[in-house]
A and B are shown apart, each in its own frame.
Chain A
Amino acid sequence: MAGEDIRQLFVCTRLWKIIMHYAKPLAKLVGEFEKLPGIGPKSAQRLAFHILRISEDEAKALADAVLNVKLYIKLCPVCYNYTDQDCCEICSDAKRDRSLVCVVSEPRDVVAMEKTNEFRGLFHVLGGVISPMDGVGPDMLKIRELLARVGDGEITEVLLATNPTIEGDTTAMYIARTLKERGFEGRISRIAHGMPVGSDMDYADQATLIQALQWRRDI
């Protein structure tokens, strides 16, 4: 038997012995938790034992929540944020400024912007950023949909709020360039970059300070 086969057999036997220590339904739950990101065998075990301790109603609520997310959450056909309605709450809110669209890479960025209570425009979620080295191109994002939205004529400003990383900046540059090529005459803005609030100049790195200088404004 080759060394690799012996190692595989050893791993399988060891895993089997661990599984044998649990009752079958518990072993299944531990296995399912282990599939989640950032959850290792120990954490999976702890979560599974926690489920055993909670009441049946609580366990059912958790199971329903997991299932409902899969059954009812879909993408808003306008902004591509997650919603359980035909059109998300933000897009269907009549009080929102429909001339301003904030372009973000992920749905969680919408939550971050909404928490500020400062932004009153609409959103557009790209579903990622252009990452040439990972083979993620513009066609894999909701850029075509953004162009169609902007083409309707109601939008007068596109705020590009992708992360200040090389991929986020490339995505913003690509969208800005494409909008200009398509004859968009409104304002195309980029979210400001620079020093985080409450930080220390002395500890800022060169890249951050350069950004802070480039994005400086009059007071």
Chain B
Amino acid sequence: MGGRGSRRATSLIYKPNMKTYTAGSIVLRRIDLGEKDRIITILTREQGKLGAVAKGARRPGSKLAGASEPFTYGKLFLSAGRDLDVLSQAEIKESFPNVKQDMRAVAYGMYMLELTNQFTEERNPNPELFDTLLSAMYILESGTDAEITARYFELQFLDLLGYDPHFETCIRCGRKPKQGRLGFSPSLGGIVCDSCGITPSDVIWAPDAIISYINALRRAEPQKLKDMKFPRGVRRDLANILKWHIRYRLEHDLKSADFIDLIAMFE
């Protein structure tokens, strides 16, 4: 079984006790370090979120400069370090140039990265989460409405992490809500009806028509998102519900959401 040759053949696949490894990664965040270096936070399929130092990435012409930019998908060659791993080589698979030329797409893209960064723990792999984020980035690149892409990503993302908001029936009594309007309670994580006890103080009211849009979004094929049309009111209510649902779980606001609100004045 497996002589020296076979061990060499698999040497690029990550194993916890190995010093160097390669990983398909999405750059979530980047901060400058000293004069020439950067610290990047990346999401990898194999290892989950981790921090790495990109030495010399700020030097003109550095091969690591482009690969250490947020919203970039690449194959990174890393060496295991004590606290942070060290990025030695990088090959950009996709730099999402269309997204980076559209301010609205950048704003929602940054929001998705921040959401992922805030909800994930280091070295806790979740391949499905990685795939969900990567496909949302490709959806954004294809020119799909940035807001719809972000809502689609939020619903998939929350489902994967076990925080899926409950819209089908009342979260307390299990009955279907009366037609007309529905109340969503971020603290309970679902809708509540008028007939079962006191209405929670944090309830957000919205027309019940929103459920059909949410279900359509949950079941949508990524390539169909481009054709989906959401009325302005539905967009506003859905954004509001998901914002407060996420805020309750995270216990703080996402900073990038402010910029989304700000650029809404251009629409």
Please report A residues at the B interface, Cβ cutoff 8 Å: 38, 130, 132-135, 137-138, 165-166, 169-170, 173-174, 177, 181, 196, 198-199, 203, 205-208, 210-211, 214
Report chain A residues within 8 Å CB of B72: 207
A205-B66 in contact given A137-B262, A166-B106 (Cβ < 8 Å): yes
Partner of A203, one of B63, B70, B255: B63
**B27 CB to nearest chain A CB (Å):** 10
Contact B92 A207 (CB under 8 A): yes
Contact A169 B266 (CB under 8 A): no
Contact B97 A208 (CB under 8 A): no
Q: Which of A134, A206, A210 has the most B CB atoms < 10 Å from its CB?
A: A206
A205-B106 in contact given A132-B259, A133-B113, A210-B95 (Cβ < 8 Å): no
Contact A208 B107 (CB under 8 A): no
A134 and B114 CA atoms in complex are apart in Å by 10
Partner of B256, one of A38, A132, A138, A196: A132
Other A-B pairs beyond A165-B69, A205-B65, 16, CB < 8 Å: A130-B259, A132-B114, A133-B29, A133-B113, A133-B114, A133-B117, A133-B255, A166-B100, A170-B106, A170-B107, A199-B61, A205-B63, A206-B93, A207-B92, A208-B65, A208-B66
Report chain B residues within 8 Å CB of A169: 100-101, 106
Please report B residues at the A interface, Cβ cutoff 8 Å: 29, 34-35, 60-61, 63, 65-67, 69-72, 90-95, 97, 100-101, 103, 106-107, 110-111, 113-114, 117, 255-256, 258-260, 262-263, 266
- Provide 20 A-B residue pairs closer than 8 Å at the C-beta atoms, listed in order of the A residue: A132-B110, A132-B256, A132-B259, A132-B260, A133-B256, A137-B259, A137-B262, A138-B262, A166-B69, A166-B71, A166-B100, A169-B101, A173-B101, A173-B103, A181-B266, A205-B65, A205-B92, A206-B95, A207-B66, A210-B95
Report chain B residues within 8 Å CB of A132: 107, 110-111, 114, 255-256, 258-260
**B89 CB to nearest chain A CB (Å):** 11
- Which chain B residue lies CB-closest to A180? B266
A38-B103 in contact given A138-B262, A165-B69, A196-B60 (Cβ < 8 Å): no
Contact B90 A205 (CB under 8 A): yes
Contact A133 B110 (CB under 8 A): yes
A137 and B262 CA atoms in complex are apart in Å by 9
- Which chain B residue lies CB-closest to A213? B97
Partner of B255, one of A135, A170, A198: A135
- Which chain A residue lies CB-closest to B92? A206
Contact A38 B34 (CB under 8 A): yes
**A173 CB to nearest chain B CB (Å):** 4
Partner of A174, one of B29, B66, B103, B256: B103
- Which chain B residue lies CB-closest to A134? B255
Report chain B residues within 8 Å CB of A166: 69-71, 100, 106, 110
Contact A135 B258 (CB under 8 A): yes
A205 and B60 CA atoms in complex are apart in Å by 13
A90 and B40 CA atoms in complex are apart in Å by 37
Report chain A residues within 8 Å CB of B259: 130, 132, 137
**A196 CB to nearest chain B CB (Å):** 4
